[in-house]
Every structure is written in structure tokens, then in C-alpha cells.
């Protein structure tokens, strides 16, 4: 008997991938939200809050980069499910341990381990869902995963509002362990199961992404498409207090609130991007239109003379809506590469994009030396959007592509 669209979209693999990404985002953003209260409780002074906090965050992001490669390779060698559950277990235990931490050095190590675990979730989930679903439903399924997942940011914000920071870590770890218990009934994708029997095929060779010009160009364009998403999160939302001051907004802007509204928009945008791609029968058009919407919202944010906190947070919501092509760009990354390299590509691409935030914040700091805050932000944005739009226009269309192929 043939499954209905509803049965496909709400099957166990899709639900587990969506809930996994929900917990992933909750834990990914939790340190940023509890940074100040957690470090204050360890006796750090105001000057140390910034330097030590930045150092811990850098350790977490380094963990994401290393974990992206590790889980991606494992996903192609051992299977999508092994990564999905191995990553959940790693970051869940690390987060529970964070609830007991007493000093910044231990905190740093635990956020590094958590970063490694958090790197595997989205790529493995999107790869599994893309391979399990019929090709006409792939866009809807992967956007459903990201749309539900990104609500984890909202959950993290309100959990910290309601409980202390240690309890927030325990809740995150507990949700991850509960998710592991849901693994019963989740099956490996048939595409990967068939590949597993082909022992002569090289699987999960990360370096092969760089040894073939065509593959390297595809890989770099996938990363390029994602740059505007983290320009919005890593610059406009994270440093929103600086932009608020530069715009002359009287009410102090809270970066935590900016990030939360951005992620509310992101969740709605991710759900919408799948519908748009499905309706247009094109991944590229859906991404391009949403990227141009983000560009327009960025120009409003920087140059429209916003003068109230309410309007400012409203524009953050619009920015989030625009970068809601996040799931679609990861899906394109999965669809660009053969089954023997798919998890490696889909898992490393979003983490490479997250890693570019270090470069963006460095450029932003350098530009502030010779330009105003607004101009510095605009220059970083210009670089990100030029690369993003070029990458989207020139990458090959993957809507409706059969995923049962190999990278030679």
C-alpha cells in the first residue's frame, strides 16, 4: 500500500531528525544566552566576562568545525543513523556536565566537546530525510526538520528566563537523552544500505572534496550560499546592541532578544522555503528570492533610520524570515554530492559556514577602526551577499535529482 504525503512527512525518521535539530539548536545557542550569569557565578569580573566568554565560544565553534568533518566522514562510512545518535549522546552528556561546572577552564573543554557533538545533527538528519523521502517531497521534508528544529532557540531563551543557567543545561541534556530513546523504529536510508554492500567504493573521503576541481567548486559554492545567513546571526543580531546605539535608539537593545526574534523568523522562513521550492520546482530560485529579501531587510536594518526598539526587533524577525533558506541550502549541499560523499558534504558545509563567523567578526572589528559601526556592518554584508548571490546563480539545480549516484 502506497504511503500518503502526510505519512511520508510525519514518518519516524523525519520526526526524530526534526526533534534532534530542535535539541541541537537549543544547546548550540544556550552558552550565548547564559554566558554572563554562568561566568559571573564563577567569580569573574566585568573585563573577564568578555574575554573568557569569547574564548569559550571560540572553543565551541572549533569543536563544531572538527566535529563537522568527523561526523560527516562517519556518516558515509558507518551510516546516517550512527551519526544521528552518536552526536546526540556526545552533546547531551557534555551539556549535563556543564550544569555541574565550577571553573572556566573545565567549561571551555566541555563546550568544545559539546561543539563536536552538535556538529553532526543537521547534516546527518537532512541527509537521512533527503534519502528516505520521495524526491518530490524532499524540499518539504527537510524544511520541516529545520523549521521545527530552529524553535529550539526560542525554547532556550524562555528556559533561561524561567530557570537558572545550570537547570537550563540539565534540561538540554535531558531532552537529548529522551531523544535517544525515540530511536526505536528509525531505519537507515535504502540508498545508503545499498552502498554499504559495495566494499570497493571509497566512502567518506573528506579530502576528495579538494582533489577534484569540479567537486571543489561545488563545495565552495554550497558554503558561499550560506554566508548571508551567518552574517545576519553573527554580525547583525549578535552585535545588535552596537547597531542600536549607532542608530540612536534610546532603549538599550538586548542581543539575546534580537537573536530570539531572528530565530522565530528563521523557523517560519525554513518552513516556507520548502513550500516555495516545491511550488517553483526549483531550489535555486527559492534560495535566491529569500536571499534578496534578506538583502532588502539588511538595508532597512542599517540605513532606514530605525528609531524604536520595537521596530528594530521587528526587522530582526524579517531578517530571520529571509535567512530561512538555511535548510534549503543544506539540502542543496546534500543533493550536489554522490551517496559515498553525501553525509561528509552535508555535515561539513553548514559547519564551515558557521566557522566563517570568526572571519566576519574579525573583518567587522578591522572595519570599525576606519568606518562607523553601520558602515563596518555594511561592508561585511556586501562581501557576504556578493559571494552568496554569485554562488546561488552559478550552482547547478538539484530539484527532482535522483540521489542514487556515486562520486568517482
Would you list the domain boundaries of the chain?
A: 8-184+203-394
Class level of CATH domain 8-184+203-394: mainly alpha
Q: Do 5 and 138 meet the contact criterion of CB atoms below 8 Å apart?
A: no
CB atoms near residue 117 (< 10 Å): 25
Per-residue pLDDT of the chain (408 residues; tens, 9 = 90+): 566 766 777 777 788 888 888 888 888 888 878 888 899 899 888 778 777 887 888 888 889 889 988 888 887 777 767 777 788 889 999 999 999 999 999 999 999 999 999 888 777 777 778 778 887 888 788 888 877 887 888 889 889 889 999 999 999 999 988 888 776 555 544 444 555 555 555 665 778 888 889 999 999 999 999 999 999 998 999 888 889 999 999 998 988 789 889 988 988 898 888 888 888 989 899 999 999 999 999 999 999 999 999 999 999 999 999 999 988 888 898 888 887 788 788 888 988 898 888 888 889 989 989 999 999 999 999 999 999 999 999 998 887 777 666 666
Measured between alpha carbons, how far is 298 from 293 in angstroms, rounded to an integer?
A: 9
Among the listed residues 228, 335, 235, the one whose alpha carbon sits nearest the alpha carbon of residue 289: 228
pTM of the model: 0.81
User: Are the CB atoms for 27 and 171 separated by under 8 Å?
Assistant: no
Contact 138, 402 (CB under 8 A): no
Amino acid at each position: 500500500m502506497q504511503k500518503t504525503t502526510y505519512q511520508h512527512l510525519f514518518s519516524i525518521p523525519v520526526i526524530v531528525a526534526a526533534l534532534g535539530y530542535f535539541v541541537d539548536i537549543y544547546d548550540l545557542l544556550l552558552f550565548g544566552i547564559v554566558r554572563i550569569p554562568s561566568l559571573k557565578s564563577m567569580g569573574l569580573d566585568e573585563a573577564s566576562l568578555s574575554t573568557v566568554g569569547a574564548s569559550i565560544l571560540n572553543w565551541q565553534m572549533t569543536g563544531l568545525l572538527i566535529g563537522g568533518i568527523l561526523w560527516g566522514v562517519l556518516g558515509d562510512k558507518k551510516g546516517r543513523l550512527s551519526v544521528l545518535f552518536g552526536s546526540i549522546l556526545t552533546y547531551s552528556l557534555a551539556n549535563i556536565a556543564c550544569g555541574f561546572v565550577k571553573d572556566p577552564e573545565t567549561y571551555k573543554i566541555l563546550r568544545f566537546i559539546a561543539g563536536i557533538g552538535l556538529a553532526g545533527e543537521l547534516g546527518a538528519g537532512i541527509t537521512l530525510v533527503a534519502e528516505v523521502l520521495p524526491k518530490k517531497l524532499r524540499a518539504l521534508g527537510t524544511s520541516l526538520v529545520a523549521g521545527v528544529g530552529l524553535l529550539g532557540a526560542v525554547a532556550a531563551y524562555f528556559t533561561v528566563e524561567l530557570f537558572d543557567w545550570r537547570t537550563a543545561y540539565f534540561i538540554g541534556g535531558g531532552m537529548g537523552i529522551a531523544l535517544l530513546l525515540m530511536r526505536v523504529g528509525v531505519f537507515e536510508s535504502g540508498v545508503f544500505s545499498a552502498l554499504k554492500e559495495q566494499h570497493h567504493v571509497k566512502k567518506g573521503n573528506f579530502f576528495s572534496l579538494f582533489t577534484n576541481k569540479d567537486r571543489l567548486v561545488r563545495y565552495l559554492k554550497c558554503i558561499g550560499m550560506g554566508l548571508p545567513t551567518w552574517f545576519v546571526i553573527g554580525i547583525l543580531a549578535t552585535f545588535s546592541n552596537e547597531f542600536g546605539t549607532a542608530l540612536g535608539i534610546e532603549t538599550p537593545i538586548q542581543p539575546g532578544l534580537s537573536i530570539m526574534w531572528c530565530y522565530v523568523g528563521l523557523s517560519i522562513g525554513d518552513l516556507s522555503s520548502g513550500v516555495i521550492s516545491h511550488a517553483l520546482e526549483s531550489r535555486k530560485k527559492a534560495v535566491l528570492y529569500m536571499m534578496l529579501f534578506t538583502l532588502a531587510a539588511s538595508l532597512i536594518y542599517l540605513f532606514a533610520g530605525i528609531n524604536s526598539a520595537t521596530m528594530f526587533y521587528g526587522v530582526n524577525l524579517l531578517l530571520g524570515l529571509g535567512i530561512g533558506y538555511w535548510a534549503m541550502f543544506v539540502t542543496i549541499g546534500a543533493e550536489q554530492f554522490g551517496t559515498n560523499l553525501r553525509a561528509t558534504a552535508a555535515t561539513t558545509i553548514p559547519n564551515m559556514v558557521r566557522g566563517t563567523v570568526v572571519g566576519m567578526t574579525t573583518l567587522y572589528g578591522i572595519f570599525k577602526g576606519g568606518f562607523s559601526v553601520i558602515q563596518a556592518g555594511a561592508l561585511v554584508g556586501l562581501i557576504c551577499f556578493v559571494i552568496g548571490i554569485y554562488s546561488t546563480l552559478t550552482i547547478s539545480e538539484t530539484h527532482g535529482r535522483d540521489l542514487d549516484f556515486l562520486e568517482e
